[in-house]
């Protein structure tokens, strides 16, 4: 489609580039297309919009022209840190179950209750120290 950015400007992953080219050829809209159509408010794009309680959303003006603290007293730094923390925790929590299953498999293997064998014990010990 005309006017779209080069796929190499959207991602460095060659597999995703190929997928985007194919989607464009077939007229399929992607997340990249939808994101380009979005307009985000300046507060959200700077990370200074807080929606953690029912009193908000609180929008902090980091340049000093407007509210400097939310209803709870959080300043721009606190709100940005909270938002980052929330995003990290949401991403992590969706994958922690995989790690738990790996630990269970290792324990069962060590106890001889699994059909696996630990090979390369030096590598395992090295990884365990990280």
Tens-digit pLDDT profile for residues 22-77:
999 999 999 888 888 887 777 777 788 888 888 878 888 877 788 899 899 999 89
**Confidence at residue 2, expressed as pLDDT on a 0 to 100 scale:** 59
CA distances from 78 to 33, 42, 57, 59, 74 (A): 32, 18, 14, 12, 6
State in Å, rounded, how far the first CA of the chain is from the last one.
47
Question: How would you classify the pairing of strands 58-59 and 49-50?
Answer: antiparallel
With pLDDT > 90 as the criterion, what percentage of the chain qualifies? 27
Task: Find which of 19-28, 66-75, 92-101, 105-114 is predicted with most confidence, using mean pLDDT.
Answer: 19-28
Helices (H), the chain: 7-10, 14-25, 31-37, 42-46, 76-93, 96-110, 121-129
The single residue listed with the structure tokens 């399929």 is 28
**Confidence at residue 126, expressed as pLDDT on a 0 to 100 scale:** 84
């Amino acid at each position: 489609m005309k006017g779209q950015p080069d796929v190499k400007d959207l991602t460095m992953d060659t597999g995703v580039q190929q997928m985007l080219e194919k989607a464009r050829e077939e007229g399929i809209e992607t997340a990249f297309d939808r994101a380009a159509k979005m307009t985000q408010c300046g507060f959200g794009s700077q990370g200074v919009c807080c929606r953690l309680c029912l009193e908000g959303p609180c929008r902090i003006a980091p340049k000093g022209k407007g509210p400097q603290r939310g209803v709870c007293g959080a300043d721009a730094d606190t709100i940005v840190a909270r938002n980052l923390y929330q995003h990290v925790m949401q991403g992590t929590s969706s994958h922690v179950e995989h790690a738990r299953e790996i630990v269970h498999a290792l324990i069962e293997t060590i106890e001889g209750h699994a059909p696996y064998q630990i090979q390369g014990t030096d590598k395992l010990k090295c990884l365990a120290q990280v």
